[in-house]
Amino acid sequence: MTNPQNASRPPSSPRVGLFVTCLVDAMRPSVGFATLKLLRDAGCRVEVPDAQTCCGQPAFNSGDTADAAVLARHFIETFEGYDYVVAPSGSCVGMTRAHYAEALADDPAWAERARRLGERTYELMSFLVDVMHFAPADVKLDTSFTYHDSCSGLRELGVHDQPRALLDKVSGLTLKPLEGNDVCCGFGGTFCVKYPAISNAVVGEKADAIDRSGASLLLGGDLGCLMNMAGKLKRKGSSVRSFHAAEVLAGMAGGPAIGEER
Amino acid sequence: MQEATLSFKARAQEALADPTLKIAIDRTTGTAERKRAVAMTQFPQFEAARERGKRIKDHVIANLDHYLLEFERNAIASGAKVHWARTAEEASQIVVRLCKEAGAKRVTRVKSMLGEEIGLPHALDEAGIERVETDLAEHIVQLGGDRPSHIVWPSMHRTREQVSEMFKRLHRAPHQEETIEAMVDSARRELRDKFLTADVAISGANFLVADTGATCTVTNEGNAELTTTPPRVHIVTAGIEKLVPSTEHALLLLRLLVRSATGADVTQYTTFHCGPKQTGDRDGPEEFHIVLVDNGRTRMLREGMKDMLRCIRCGACMNHCVVFRQLGGHVYGGTYPGPMGAVLTPVFDGLESSRDLPHACTMNGKCQEVCPVAIPLPTLLRGWRDRSWREGLEPATVRFGLGIHTFVASRPRLYRLGTAIAIRVMRLFSRGGLVKGMPGLGAWTAYREFPAPAKRTFMEMYKDQEKGQ
Ligand code: SF4
């Protein structure tokens, strides 16, 4: 979603609080470092507040609104001081932008703080394109990729064109369209472990579509979905390798893909 | 029914293990999805129409008492008899009583999900009244002795090959050729004389038009006309949320309904019924009854679920739902399946017996995107999860787990430590980049690999880098 004030000219060296997300912190730090590099290349002063933890989505989606509100307040306190907050995940940003006010509905003052912070909180790809008008320079990767649009980013934040525009600037990289690119991969946070058989059936179809695309890489903007799809691709013996789009854009896709030995 | 005794998960397992069911689901929902997509490219006003449709429904729901009384007044003026039912049971009892008063031995039904909701097929069977389903798909459901699995295509769960086999077994003069036309003819031969000799016709309504007192019914087969014309008595059952101020409003919603349901420009048949046969009319029923059903609707209004009352039963949300497309409709266990069913079933059947439904959703938001009256289905589903949590229906393990998670995640230092330990434990189980056989990860690793974490967390590495600078 474009912030109209910033649509014309990028702000000069804004102070950005990077929320790496709990999954990236624990599972795949390289996505965090790629994000850091991209934000710095785009001219931001980036800080990684030490107090950050989890956005509270697991509690919120489980119906545990009170616990979600605790973590929402913690997030707001941690990040309120920055010009912008950026995370390499549509679903965590969707949580803060679209749902914090709901989680804090009983507390109007906090709900208002949530709303104000939400306006300055961005998913990485949309921040780079819509706010910073950034394009990666001198990144080269000779291969083909297909792109999965994760649901929260796509439907709650309107992230669709931005990652494609950015990846288009990587020389040597070609897009092979994914049939059903906007269809859910079956991850759904806690859904995938609460209803594993259903989740498996959904991601099974997704993995087949990814294979049919003929691409060498699967890219996306949400680590949860990527781990789900990469895990299924691995299990079915597919040779498609999975990366977060930020890793490719930062020129950091030389190492092991998701689920490869490191 | 067997389904009711199995848990949701067990029913889901059965459905997932049935490859023929999956073929059937994909054929119907896949076609519906494609046709809708084409229809949308030819309907650029969709967003505007959707906004208007939403406003019409919201307006009526906010002024329900006004429009109900206006409708009742005009319906009575046209000669109809209006009945009010608070519950499903009351509604089906009224219909059965009217049938008995008419001395009915045989009734014909036009497909109506409300009829299913109030348990009408069962109530008629119990009362010993022969029930003839005139909608082809409902006829298939009746022959198979099961329940509708989709609100627009009730027999979606059967492939045409299965239907052909069933017709050959059960029809008096079944088709010879394996074509759809021949099969339709077979059903027609089976049903036509029953259409003409029924004592009572029962239909639903897509719209109740307040300023005329008319009811409007949409079908694909024209069976509404044929069914409701010959019998002496016609009974319409409808939920009170079906009201619209005028015919013009009904037509606007109709445009949204057909494009969303079948991807067609117009419904094949749209029938308006307004009162019984008048002097000078060539045909029509002598008695015309309308049963207005609440069955939880005013409670939904009170309990923060008024958005759901906009639903025009188009089925688009289920056609586009990744979970529905794996499971089909029966797994949901209620009258209505898919996303809208997952919102409605806890209203009708109680949350305790249906708490899986709001949870068995990835919250991907596609249903809301395609809904022609912009119902925030994921928000409503989360509302049920919230309620389930507050009412203590969630398992103790989940409550405990999330409690710990919140305790830790609101204490950054403890959280850092916890994460650092967790990934090290995971790495003890890691081989070749994947976590193997780790207790607690079984739900994931039964079906897919779990990518192993890196050696250290982002925060550990980042802090070292900062120190080094
Ligand atoms: S909820 Fe919306 S999409 Fe689903 S059946 Fe109702 S009107 Fe159609």
- Contacts of residue B252, defined as CB under 8 A and 6 or more positions apart, other chains included, come to B49, B52, B53, B56
Mean pLDDT of B336-355: 96
Q: What pLDDT is attached to residue B171?
A: 94
Q: How far is the CA of A19 from the centre of ligand 1 (A)?
A: 36
Q: Is the pLDDT of residue B4 over 60?
A: no
CA A50 to chain centre: 20
Q: What is the pLDDT of residues B385-435, one digit of tens each?
A: 999 999 999 999 899 999 999 999 999 999 999 999 999 999 999 999 999
The 3-state secondary structure of B128-181 reads CCEEEECCHHHHHHHHHCCCCCCCCCCCCCCCHHHHHHHHHHHCCCCCCCCCHH
* CA quadruple B207, B212, B213, B214: dihedral sign: negative
> Are B132 and B199 in contact, with CB atoms under 8 Å apart?
no
CB neighbour burial string for A50-88, b if at least 16 within 10 angstroms, e if fewer: eebbbbbbbbbbbbbbebbbbbbbbbbebbeebebbbbb
Mean pLDDT rounded to a whole number for chain B? 93
For A:169-198, CB contacts with B below 8 A are 182-184, 186-189, 191-198
Chain A partners within 8 Å of B379 (Cβ): 102
Q: Report DSSP state, residue A98.
A: I
Listing DSSP states for A120-136 in one string gives: TEEEHHHIIIIIT----
Tell me if B315 CB under 6 Å of ligand 1: yes
Mean pLDDT of A195-204: 98
Q: Is the pLDDT of residue A5 over 60?
A: no
Q: What pLDDT is attached to residue A8?
A: 65
Mean pLDDT rounded to a whole number for chain A? 95
Is A109 part of the contact surface with chain B (CB cutoff 8 Å)? no
Proportion of chain B above pLDDT 70, given as a percent: 98
Of the residues B307, B375, B380, which should be mutated to test ligand 1's pocket, given the most ligand atoms within 8 Å of the CB? B375
Protein residue with least CA distance to atom 8, ligand 1: B314
Identify any residues that bridge with A175 across adjacent strands, giving them in sequence order. Answer: A145
User: Where does residue B47 fall: left (phi above 0), alpha (psi -120 to 50 degrees), or beta otherwise?
Assistant: alpha
Q: What is the pLDDT of residues B165-180, one digit of tens each?
A: 999 999 999 999 999 9
* Tokens representing residue A72 in the block: 């929402």
**Closest by alpha carbon to B263, among B343, B324, B320?**
B320
How far apart, in whole angstroms, are the C-alpha atoms of residue B143 and residue B163?
Answer: 9
User: Where does residue B418 fall: left (phi above 0), alpha (psi -120 to 50 degrees), or beta otherwise?
Assistant: alpha
C-beta atoms of B388 and A63 within 8 A: yes
For A:110-139, CB contacts with B below 8 A are none
Q: How far is the CA of A215 from the centre of ligand 1 (A)?
A: 36
pLDDT band for position B267 (cuts 50, 70, 90): low
Q: What is the pLDDT of residues B236-263, one digit of tens each?
A: 999 999 999 999 999 999 999 999 998 8
**Look-up of token digits 């089976």:** B190
Q: What pLDDT is attached to residue A2?
A: 43
Nearest to A54 among B326, B399, B409 (CB): B409
Chain A partners within 8 Å of B388 (Cβ): 63
φ, ψ of residue B342 in degrees (nearest 5): -65, -25
Q: What is the pLDDT of residues B323-335, one digit of tens each?
A: 999 999 999 999 9
C-beta atoms of B451 and A231 within 8 A: yes
Chain A residue at shortest CA distance from B452: A259
Mean pLDDT of B185-205: 90
Q: What pLDDT is attached to residue B226?
A: 73
How far apart, in whole angstroms, are the C-alpha atoms of residue B95 and residue B236?
Answer: 9
φ, ψ of residue B176 in degrees (nearest 5): -100, -45
Q: Is the pLDDT of residue A32 over 50?
A: yes
Q: What pLDDT is attached to residue A1?
A: 43
Is A48 part of the contact surface with chain B (CB cutoff 8 Å)? yes
Is A262 part of the contact surface with chain B (CB cutoff 8 Å)? yes
Residue A207 or residue B273, greater confidence: A207
Every domain of chain A and the residues it spans: 15-130, 136-249
C-beta atoms of B403 and A20 within 8 A: no
Q: Is the pLDDT of residue B5 over 80?
A: no
Q: What pLDDT is attached to residue B372?
A: 97
Nearest to A259 among B363, B451, B463 (CB): B451
Every domain of chain B and the residues it spans: 45-298, 411-468
Task: Give the CATH number of domain A136-249.
Answer: 3.40.50.11810
Chain B partners within 8 Å of A156 (Cβ): 365
> Are A121 and A96 in contact, with CB atoms under 8 Å apart?
yes
According to DSSP, the β-strands at A121-123 and A84-87 are parallel
* Tokens representing residue A46 in the block: 């980036």
**Look-up of token digits 């046209």:** B78
> Are A203 and B323 in contact, with CB atoms under 8 Å apart?
no
> Are A225 and A185 in contact, with CB atoms under 8 Å apart?
yes
pLDDT band for position A256 (cuts 50, 70, 90): very high
Q: Is the pLDDT of residue B2 over 70?
A: no
The 3-state secondary structure of A42-91 reads CCCEEECCCCCCCCCHHHHHCCCHHHHHHHHHHHHHHHCCCCEEEECCHH
CA B220 to chain centre: 18
Q: What is the pLDDT of residues B119-169, one digit of tens each?
A: 999 999 999 999 999 889 999 999 999 999 999 999 999 999 999 999 999
Q: Is the pLDDT of residue B181 over 60?
A: yes
What type of residue is A242?
Answer: S
Q: What pLDDT is attached to residue B278?
A: 85
- The whole-angstrom distance between B242's CA and the closest CA on chain A is 29
* Tokens representing residue B185 in the block: 């003819």
- The whole-angstrom distance between A160's CA and the closest CA on chain B is 15
> Are A222 and A90 in contact, with CB atoms under 8 Å apart?
yes
Predicted ipTM? 0.95
C-beta atoms of A29 and B456 within 8 A: yes
pLDDT band for position A6 (cuts 50, 70, 90): very low
- Integer angstrom CA distances of residue B114 from A169, B335, B423: 55, 9, 53
* Tokens representing residue B73 in the block: 């007044």
C-beta atoms of A59 and B368 within 8 A: no
Q: What pLDDT is attached to residue B277?
A: 87
C-beta atoms of B447 and A52 within 8 A: no
Q: How far is the CA of B50 from the centre of ligand 1 (A)?
A: 12
Mean pLDDT of B96-108: 96
The model's pTM: 0.95
pLDDT band for position A100 (cuts 50, 70, 90): very high
Tell me if B321 CB under 6 Å of ligand 1: no
Mean pLDDT of A254-262: 92
- The whole-angstrom distance between A139's CA and the closest CA on chain B is 23
Tell me if B21 CB under 6 Å of ligand 1: no
Nearest to B451 among A22, A195, A230 (CB): A230
pLDDT band for position B227 (cuts 50, 70, 90): confident
How far apart, in whole angstroms, are the C-alpha atoms of residue A228 and residue A217?
Answer: 15
- Kindly indicate whether the domain formed by B45-298 is annotated with CATH number 3.40.640.10: no
